[in-house]
A and B are shown apart, each in its own frame.
Chain A
């Protein structure tokens, strides 16, 4: 699928075909999309995930996770959970990761990089080596970096023809169930499966106008979208019909009956 179409097709899917498993190759593809995403200092060991698969993971673990995610219907239905987590100990590898980037010629002397520069200027600098400074900032940046991986993983799931969604839950419970160490924090749980609802889930969700989000030159000066570009993005499938589709209420009713859910 073309990238613009993937971005346009992404929805939070809330009804999954619980009976249709997800192919292992597709799960691996989703995880690879996360692994390859940009990461501060290439310290990629900070973002990790536990994969839970219906019929493969022990039922007691999966059921406990469903409970920890408030027994939401789409959690009950989704055949795969990817529990994304931040491993703060992953920052320990920052120095080596940077040196490795020099060795593979990603960081070069053209930009002032050397192994000595890493030791004498980068590692002591809390703006770069976040563990050398305010821990709250380190945690914030870690969440940001993990989010980058998850964003790619969501798009990869759509590209594989799957439905996906992010849900939250009782983090302490999730950590306990999955036996995560103290320095690991579970973040969002990515649900993956084949959608039982129409893949476009009744249309693109409401989003603030472009110019309310993006500024030109300085904060508060609206950056206006070019209508010709918007038309191109519509043609490419990135900008789509807004929800709700006229048939959406009927679809929800049918799905409620299928899964025995209240309307």
Chain B
């Protein structure tokens, strides 16, 4: 998927609209888009495909929530660093889904 097509996809547009209200600078915004793009490569799906697949609009029930929850955990674990750093990576994907009206379970810190 080309960079333009990626950014222009409705799901990414919704994510960008959400990011616009969070006071991020350009570098932070680009970093998040790059993380999202890397996740799309990881699961071999486009952003729109992920949004369409996770939830069944007909039945109003999650269809592949566990799949994406597990993939996000694997994706987070790919990088070295602290629990916070790894979780922040996964949370970019969770935020993307939230911007598109879908919610993945959050990671709970050990102390919670």
B22 touches A260 (CB 8 A): no
**Contact indicator per residue, chain A 251-263, by CB within 8 Å of chain B (1) or not (0):** 0010011011111
- Give Cα A256 to B24, complex, Å: 15
Contacting residues of chain A (72-111) with chain B, CB-CB under 8 angstroms: 73, 76-77
A19 contacts partner chain B, Cβ-Cβ < 8 Å: yes
A262 touches B108 (CB 8 A): no
Q: Contacts A249-B22, A249-B23, A262-B94: A257 and B84 contacting too (C-beta < 8 A)?
A: yes
A interface majority secondary structure? helix
A5 contacts partner chain B, Cβ-Cβ < 8 Å: no
**Contact indicator per residue, chain B 76-90, by CB within 8 Å of chain A (1) or not (0):** 000000011001100
Closest A residue to B112 by CB, please name it: A18
- Give Cα A249 to B107, complex, Å: 21
Residues of B at the A interface (CB closer than 8 Å) are: 22-23, 83-84, 87-88, 91-92, 94-95, 98, 105-109, 111-112
Q: A259-B109, A262-B106, A263-B91 are in contact. List 19 more A-B contacts (CB 8 A).
A: A18-B111, A18-B112, A71-B105, A71-B106, A76-B112, A77-B112, A249-B22, A253-B22, A256-B91, A257-B84, A259-B106, A260-B87, A260-B88, A260-B106, A260-B108, A260-B109, A262-B91, A262-B92, A262-B95
Can you name 30 A-B pairs with beta carbons within 8 Å?
A18-B111, A71-B105, A71-B106, A73-B106, A76-B108, A76-B112, A249-B23, A250-B23, A253-B22, A257-B84, A259-B106, A259-B109, A259-B112, A260-B83, A260-B87, A260-B91, A260-B106, A260-B107, A260-B108, A260-B109, A261-B91, A261-B106, A262-B91, A262-B94, A262-B95, A262-B98, A262-B106, A263-B22, A263-B91, A263-B95
Q: Which 7 A-B pairs have the closest CB atoms?
A: A262-B91, A262-B94, A262-B95, A260-B87, A260-B109, A260-B107, A18-B112
